[in-house]
Structure 1
Amino acid sequence: MKIRSYLVFCFLVAALLPTLIFSVWSYRDAVSREIAEVEDRHLLLARKAAATLHRYHQDLVSAFETASTKLQRGQSPQDISGQLYRLNMCCIHLTDKTTGRIKHSLDPSDIGKAIPAVSFAKIKSIAQPDEAAFSGISVLPDGNNGFFIVQELERYYAFGLVSPEFFIDLGKSIVFGEKGHAAIVDRFGTVIAHPRPDWIADRKIIAKVSPVARMMRGETGIETFYSPAAEEDMIAGFTTVAGPGWGVMVPQPVAEIYDKVAQNQSSLFLIVASALLATVLLGLLLARSLSHPLEELARSMRASARNRKLSRVDPENGMIRFKEIVDFCNSYNRMVTRMTQAGEQIEKLAFSDHVTGLPNRDHLQAVAEPILAAVTSPEDGGIVVLVDLDNFKEINDLHGHHAGDLHLMACARVLCEVAEKLYKSPSFTRTAGFAPPLVARIGGDEFIMLVQGLVSEADIQSFLADVQLAVSEPSPELSITPSASIGCARFPLDGNDLEDLTKRADIAMYHAKRAGKNRVQLYTPDIGTQSAAETRRDLNEAIKKGQLFLEYQPKICTRRRVVISVEALVRWNHPELGCLLPDHWIPLLNGSHAMTRLGEWVIRQAMTDHAILANGGHDLWVAVNVGSNHFMSSGFVESLETIRAEKQFDSTQLEIEVTEDALFTSEHRAFSTFASLKDLGYKVSIDDFGSGYSNITRLASLPVDFLKIDHSLIAGASREPRIRTILASTIDMAGKLDCFTVAEGIETQNQADFATHLGADCLQGEFFTKSLPVDELIDWLDLQKGPAGHLYLRPESRAV
C-alpha cells in the first residue's frame, strides 16, 4: 500500500480547518524561507560545478603540458594517451611558428601537414609563452564545436583540440525540479552546455542576459531575471571559473518555488492534521512501519562506512510494507551491487598492468610489505628478482609498439609459468604462511618476481637459470630472439624493504647488462651500492658542480709520424669515490637524458680546450664521443650547431665519434645525421669497429671519414692469421671507400709496427702516452718537437 493512501485516509479523518488556517498565515513566511534556501542551493550548485570545471581545467593543462613537453623532446606520450582520451582532448600538435606546419604530433600521420590559416591565426592570437590558454567555443577543423588549448613554446606553438563533451555531461548532471538546469558559457558568453541542443550546436550567444553579463565580468551571485529559453522568470545562482573565464549558471523557474511552497504547505497541513487527530495507535503503527526500515538502512550505511564495505538491507522489514520504502530499499541494494562491482573493477585497474594483466608496482608494494615485514630469520627469507628485457626499445622501433606489447605479454606468461612450476615443485618449501610467488610488471621493460622460500644459493641459481631460459626462448608470434638481463637480491640478507631490495636487484641487473646482457647476477655488496637512477642523478649534480673534466689522447699519422688530432675522454672526479673512469658509469646512462646532457657538456668543454691548444701553437682537431641515442635524436645536429655558434668554433676542427650500434635503430636517420654533419664541415668516425656487429656493407652507404678499429681486433690480428686477413681486408676496403682507418689501443712497439705495416692511417693508444689533461697535453706535444720526443714520431710521407 502507498504512503499517499494512508496520508489521504488520515486527512479525511482529521479536520481540514486547522490546517487551512495554519497554511494561510504561514504561507508568506514559507515563501521567504524557500527563496532563501533556493538562493543558497543554486549558488552552491554553481560553485560546485565551477570547482569541477576548475579541476578539469587543471587536468587539461597538466596533461597538455606533459604531452607537449614529451613531443618537444621527441618522446612518445603514449603513457598518458588514456588520460588525454578521458579528458576529451582530441589531438595535440607542435607547429612551426612561421609556417604553421605540424612538426610533432600524437598522430605521426599529421606531421608535415599545414594548419588551416584561420585556425593558425586564432592559435597565434591566443598563444602565451608562460601558460596554456583556451579559446572560446568555436568550430574546430573537423567541423565540430570545441576549444583550442594553446601554449607558445620556444620553437613551436603547441595546441590541442578539446571536445566540449565534459561540459555537456556536467550540464546534464545538474537537473532538478521540472525546469531547473545548468547553463555553461565561455568567457564571451557563448553557450557551451544547455538543455537546448540547438543552442549548443549554434553556439548561442547569451551575453546580454544579465547573470551572464555579470559572469563575464567575473562576478558571483544570485539574480532573478527573464529567461529567453524558458520564457519565464527565473532565479539563478552563477559564478565563474578563474583562468579560462568559463561561467556556470544554475537557474530555476520562480513559479516552481511557489509550487513547492504550496506543496510543502499541503504536506505540512496533512502532518499537522494527522498529528492532532490521528489515534495514538495509528501514529505508532505508521511511525514504526516508516521508521524501522529507515533505521535499518541507516545502521547498514554506518556499518558500511565503518567496515569500508557496502552491505545490503532487507526491503521486507516493517509492520506495514510501504511500496515506496520497498522500492527505496531495492534501489539502494541495486546501488550497492553496482558500486561494489565498480569498486572491484577500479581496484583491478588500479593494481594491475593494462598490457600484461600482471600486478603493477602499487599491487606489488601492497603485497610485499606484510610479507617482508614478517620475515625475521633467513629460513623465512626469499628473493626479489628484477628481469629487464634486453633491446626492448629496438623491438619497438623496428617492429612497432604492438610487437613490443606482444613481447611483454609473452614474457609475462613465461615468467608466471616458471613461478607456478616452482610453487608446485615437490622440492619447494611451502611453509605455512608463505605467500605464493608473485610476478609483477613495474616499468616499460622491467618485471619483478617476489619468491619466498628460496634460501640456498644453489636453489636460487637454479631458479634464475630457469627464468633466463624461459625469457630467452623465441616467441612464436614474433620473429625475434629475446633475452633479458636479470638481477637478484635476497631478503632478509640484503634488506627487508621492497625499495631497498629492488634497488639492489637493479644494481645487480645493470652489472649483468654491463657484462654483455643476457646474464644473471646475484647481488653482492662488492658490485656497488648505487642504482642506475642514482648514478644519473649524481651525474647531473656533477655537471652542475664542475666535477667532470676531460683528458686527451693523441692520434698519430702513420705516414708523417706526427700528431694530427686528439680524442677527448671524460673523467669524473667523484667527491667520495675519487676519479671514476667512464667504463664504470657510462653504461648506466644509456638511453637516458643524462647521456644527452653529458654529451653536450663534453662537446662544449672540448671546444673550450681546443682554443687552449690553438693558443699553445698546436693546430689539431679534437674528437668527441657521442652516445648512440644522443646521436640519433632529432635535435642532435641543431644542438651541436647551437654550441658551435656559442663557442664561435670552426666545425672542421671537430670530429664526432659514434659506435656502430647507432645504425641499428634507424639506418635512414643515421644516414641523414651523417650527411648533415658532413655538409656542415664536421668530421665523422665509427668507433670500436670490430667489437660488435661490424658491417662493411652498411659502412659503404655512410659518409664516414674515419673507421676506428677496436683494440681487440688489433691484438687478435697480431696472433691469429685469419684475423690478420680480415683486418687487412677491412683496412683495404675502407681505403677504397675514401675512409681513413685508426688502430685503437696500441700498447706496444710490435702492435704499432704491425698496424703500420697493414696500412692503418692512424694509431692511438697508451704506447705513445696515457690520456692527459689539456695543460699536460701541451707540454707533451711541445716535447715531441725535440730529440726527447717519442721514437715513433719521426717525419715520413704525406699526412692524412
Structure 2
Amino acid sequence: MRFHSLESRVVVLFISLLLTLQLVAYFAIGNAIDTNARSAIESELKISTKVFSRLLDQNAQKLIQGATLLSKDYAFREAIGTHDTETIVSTLLNHGQRLGADLTMLVDLDGKITAASSDTLAHGLQQSVSSMIKTATEKGSAGNIDIVDGKPYQMVMVPVLAPVTISWVVMAIPLDQTLVSDMRELSKMQISLLTSQNRSPWKMNVSTLEQQEALQLASALPKDEAGPRLMRDMEIGDNHYRTNVLPLASNGNNSAVAVLQLSIDQAVAPYKKLQRNLLILTVLGCIVASIISAVTARRVIEPVRQLADTARRLGTGDYLTPIKVERTDEIGDLANSFSHMRDAIASREQEIRRLAYWDTLTILPNRALFREMLDEAITLAKSRLSTCYVLMMDLDRFKHVNDVMGHSFGDILLQEVAHRLKVELGAGNIQPARLGGDEFAVLLPETTEEVALQIAEKILHALEHPISIEDQTVDIGASIGIAGFPSHAADAATLLSRVEVAMYAAKQAKNGAVIYAPDIDKSSQQSLSLLSEMRTALERNDFRLYVQPKVSLTNGEVVAVEALVRWLHPERNFIYPDQFIPFAEQTGFIRQLTHWMMNASAQACREWKNAGIHLKISVNISTRDLMDQELPEKFANILSLHQVQAADFCLEITESAIMDDPVRAHLTLDKLHAMGMELSIDDFGTGYSSLAYLKRLPVNELKIDKSFVLKMEQDIDDTKIVKSTIDLGHNMGLRVVAEGIENAKVMNLLKELGCDQGQGYHISRPMPASELQPWLLTWSQHQTI
C-alpha cells in the first residue's frame, strides 16, 4: 500500500481520528485525575490539620486536669504553706511521673520557679512561665508550646488556691514520636516536627517519614517557613507530596513547626492504573481499527483503481477494453457511467477530429490538415528529389461584400468559391484547403514553378466570372501568392510564411499572382523592424516634443502652438514624421503615439503655466484615434494627472479621418467637446467631406491646407480659394488658421483677407518645447521694434 495512495490516506484518516479522540480523552482524564486528586488532598490536609490541632488541645487538657489535681492536694498545699521544699519537689516528681510529664514546677506569684522536678528544663522555660501568668490569672489556666534544647515542649499552668492563689503549678510534656505516631494512626498523612535555633537551618525533631526523606524535608524547608500556614508541593525522594506547614512555637530566634504531608502519588495511583489500562485499550483499538480500515479501504478503493486504469486507457485512445466492475452500489453506478462516457468520448473524438481537420463551411481541409498534407508532400519530395508548390489565395473585396450583404451572404460566397476551386482543379492529388476567413490554399505536389503559375492563372480566370447568389450578382477577384520547396523554403512553416508574403505582395500590387522573391520578404521584414523600433523608442523615450507657434494675424501676438513629434533614433539621428507616421497609422501604433503626444503636451502646458505662459496647444489625432470610444476618458486621465484644463487644448482632425466612419467619429468628437476641448478641421479643402455633415460637428476652427497658402501671392486661384474658405469659416462661426506662411507677403495678404491666425516657417520653424520660452521673448522684442 503506497503512502500517497487514496487507500493509505483513508486508513491514516481513520487511525488519526481514533488516535486524536483517544489522546484527547487520555489527557483529559489525566488532567481530571490530577485536579480531583489535588482537591481531595487539600481537603484531607485541612481536616488533618484540624485533627492535629485538636490532638494538641487534648494533651493540654490532660495536663491541666493533672495539674489541677496536684494543686488541690492538701499535703502539697500544706508543704507550700510551710515552705517544705523537700516535700514539694517529691510531690512534683511523683505526680509528674504518673502523668508522663518531663517537668513539673511550682512558681510563686512573681513568676519565679521555686521548685521543679528538673532544674535544667525549668531554667529553659523560665521566660515562658513568666509570660503565662497573665493569661492564667485571667482565664484560670494557660497553655503554651516552647522550645528547650532544640525540642518542643507543650506546657500548662494552673493556680494553687488556699483559697486565694498562693502559687502556680506548671507541667510540661515533650512533643515526641508518640504524638506524631498517634497522628499517623488517626490519618494517612505524614507528620514531622522541626525546630530552628537562632535562625539556623531546620533540624528534624521527630517524623513519621523514613530517615532519609526526613533529612531531605529538613533541608528543603525554607528558613522563614515558621510564618503563616502555607500549602505547597514538594518533591522528597521519589515521592511527590502536598505539604502544609503549621507553626507551633516562636521564641525569639527559636521556632518550631509541624509539617503535615499527603502523598499525591499514592492518591492518584489507583486512577493512574485505570489510565494505563485505557492507554493499553487505545493501542489495541488502534491496531484493530487499522486492520478493519485497511480491509474497508481496499474494498472501496480497488474498484476505483480499476476505473483509474480504465481512464488511463481512455487517455491513450483505447475505447474497446471492457470495464470489469460488477457491483450494485454507487461504485457500480460509477463504472456504468464510465462505460457510457467511454462510448460518448469515442463518438465525440471522431467528430472532433473531423472538426479539427475539416472546414465545416466549405467541407475543405482546414489549416491544420493542410499543414500535415504539406509536411507529407515535402517529405515525399525530399525522398524523390523533386519539388512541390503551394498557392495561397485571398479574395479581393470580400470584407466589403461581407459588411454590406451580411455574414450569411458571405458564407454562401465562400462555399461558391470553394466549389469553383474543386471544379477547376478536378479530382486527383491537387487538393484545395480553406485556411481561415477568405484565405484558401492549394497544394501542388511534384509540380514545377511554371505549372504552379498556370494553375494560379486558371483559378484567377475562373473567379473573373460574376457569382450569382440570392438574385445578387457579385464580382469578386483574388490575389494569389506562389512559393515552392526547395527553391523558396526547406520546411513547411517557412514555406507557408513565404507564400503568405507573396500573397500580400500580390494583393498590394493588385497583380493577380506573385511568385515569392527575397526582396518582397525583405520589405515585409523592414516594416516589422520599423514597428519594433517604434515600440522600443516609446519605451526608451526616444520621441521628442516639438512645437510650432501660431500667431494672431491681427496684432502678431503668439496665441497657440501646434504639438509635433520627432524621433531621435540612436543610429539614424532625427527621423521626421512623414517617415514613420503613415506606417504608425497603418499598423495601429498611432494610438500609442497619440497618447504619448497628449501626455508630453500636458506636461509642457503645466511647465509653461508655472512660468506664466498661457498658450493653447493643438494636438493632431488620427482616424484610428477617433474610432476609440475610450479616447475621451484616456485624455481626461492625462489632464487630471498633470492638473491642466481641457480648454488649454485644441484637437486637429483631418476631413478624411471624420468621413471614414462619420457616426463613430461624431460620437467621439461630441464627448471631447463636452470635456471643454476645442476641435479643428485640419488640411481643410483637400478632402471630400460634406459641408452639410461638417456643420453638425462641434468644431471651433478651420485650418487651411498649406498647398493653397504657399504660393497664393503668385496664384490668383489659390487666393480665391483661401478667401472663400475664410468667408465660409467665418459664416459658420469658426476661427480660421492658415498654415504654410513662408514670407511676409503671404502673411500680409492673409491679414487683408481676414484670416484669424497663421503659422509657418516665416514665423518660426518647429522647435523643441524647451526652447519656446526664450523664443517668445525674442519674438516679443521683435514685434515691439
What TM-score results when the alignment is normalised by the length of structure 2? 0.47
Work out which structure has the larger RCO, using CA pairs closer than 8 Å and 6 or more positions apart in sequence. Answer: 1
For the pair shown, the structure with the greater C-alpha radius of gyration is 2
Relative to total residues, which structure has the larger helix share, 1 or 2? 2
